[in-house]
Chains A and B, each alone.
Chain A
Amino acid sequence: MQNTIFFLGKGGVGKTTLSSAFALTLARSGRRVLIVSLDPAHNLGDALRTSLNGKPINVEPNLDALEVDLSEWVDKYLKDSREQLKANYSYNMALNLDSFFDILKYSPGTEEYAVLWAIEDVHCTLAPQYDYIVFDTPPTALSLRFLSLPAISGLWVAELAKLRERILRSRQTIVKLNPTSPVAESCVDKEDDRVYGKLRSIRERLAMLNTLFSKHSFISVIINPDELSIFEALRIKDELTRLGIPLSAICLNKQGVSDAEWHIDPKLSHLPRFTYNFSRDGIQSRDDLFAIGLEPLMHQFLHEKESKR
């Protein structure tokens, strides 16, 4: 069922403003909503005028919000792996490998994975308590990387699983021919092999996230009336198409902020488009957010959800 909403777009186009306005609109129409900020530079709490942290905090009736602490997720994950390693390895090797974990925090890809673990946690543990989950995402580069990770890592894991199966088949053959071989002390069965079991569990988790992104999410790209944000929206669309993730709507935010000429690319013009005017008085409260008027987008979302059911 489609109950997850992502707002993507270039930095500064108004992702936090529109995602919090959308969450407020859903909540004030009687749906239970959780809005989650995945941006390492959080400002969801500022938009909602509430102090937030890594746990859901009630903002108003039907609306909870949280700001994911990515460094906390990285630390938790590395701590779990480190403890697992110490439990499984002999003393000497654990001591040598332990030093790796201090630098892994800064390894490329770790932050993107932290976003994935956070989404998985929200999807598996928090989502059942709500009707809808709205994600306020980081700027395009990080968002596209975490959206593409399940597909890319899935390929790696599938190949590694194939190689592992080959190793297990070789072990089985050796043990069959020579039952006293030292190989008999290793795991020969897929069900007992912990590496294969781990690969299978990673593959299942990645497949679940891939399905969440490609089948159960309503993805809206926010643009401003300027060429740069439209170019970026095109890049987002191309990348998402390559990953098999459909785009559901375009939100044109800050209409009227400038008189410069601009036009929407034909590649984006077939998508449902919703326009929001630039507010010269700014947004001072949650009521101002609600007043932006996201009901048409909400109806589009609910309509698409119904048609996919």
Chain B
Amino acid sequence: MPVHVRHILKAALDTVVQVNREKATGMLDFELKELENIFALLILGGFAGLPSPPSPIAVELLPYMEKELTILLSRTDLSQDPLGVLMGMLEID
């Protein structure tokens, strides 16, 4: 088999594998984002009236939570349509 054909086949196969990997981890990604969101909410919930650890503990953790804060803010944007997000995730039109 010519080399360039072998390359094309390998690239096609890699793409199929990657697509399947993305599909396999899609739900886990969604769950992970939710867990990170909950973690940020638990730490910073005191500022919004939710039960939370004593604020000095939240302050000690805050400097290391930039990523979680970003997720929290993006989740806030999506909170207007949580069902839409879930349906999109499950690929239901």
Are B39's CB and A160's CB within 8 A?
yes
Prevailing SS type, chain B contact patch? helix
CA A181 – CA B33 in complex, angstroms? 13
Are B55's CB and A109's CB within 8 A?
yes
- Asked whether any CB of chain A lies closer than 8 Å to the CB of B25, the reply is yes
Decide yes or no: A181 and B24 within 8 Å by CB, A93-B66, A109-B54, A149-B54 being known contacts. no
Which A residue sits closest to B53, measured CB to CB?
A156
CA A110 – CA B59 in complex, angstroms? 10
CA A198 – CA B65 in complex, angstroms? 11
CA A285 – CA B66 in complex, angstroms? 56
CA A194 – CA B68 in complex, angstroms? 13
- Contact partner of A167 (CB less than 8 A), chosen from B36, B54, B59, B64, is B36
Shortest C-beta distance, B20 to chain A (Å), equals 9
Top 10 A-B pairs, shortest CB-CB distance? A84-B63, A156-B53, A113-B56, A178-B21, A85-B63, A194-B64, A109-B54, A107-B55, A170-B32, A178-B25
Given A88-B63, A100-B47, A186-B67, list of 11 further CB < 8 A pairs? A77-B59, A78-B59, A81-B63, A89-B63, A90-B66, A113-B54, A157-B53, A174-B28, A177-B28, A194-B64, A195-B61
Are B31's CB and A160's CB within 8 A?
no
Are A202's CB and B69's CB within 8 A?
no
- Of the A-B pairs whose beta carbons lie under 8 Å apart in the complex, a sample of 7, sorted by A's number, is A85-B62, A88-B66, A93-B66, A153-B57, A173-B28, A174-B29, A181-B25
Could you list which residues of chain B lie within 8 angstroms of chain A, going by C-beta atoms? Answer: 18, 21-22, 24-25, 28-29, 31-32, 35-36, 38-39, 42-43, 47, 53-57, 59-70
Contacts of B53 in A (CB 8 A): 153, 156-157, 160
- Asked whether any CB of chain B lies closer than 8 Å to the CB of A163, the reply is yes
Are A93's CB and B69's CB within 8 A?
yes
Contact with B along A267-290 (1 / 0, CB 8 A): 000000000000000000000000
Contacts of B61 in A (CB 8 A): 160, 195, 198-199
Which A residue sits closest to B70, measured CB to CB?
A93
Contacts of B56 in A (CB 8 A): 77, 107, 109-110, 113
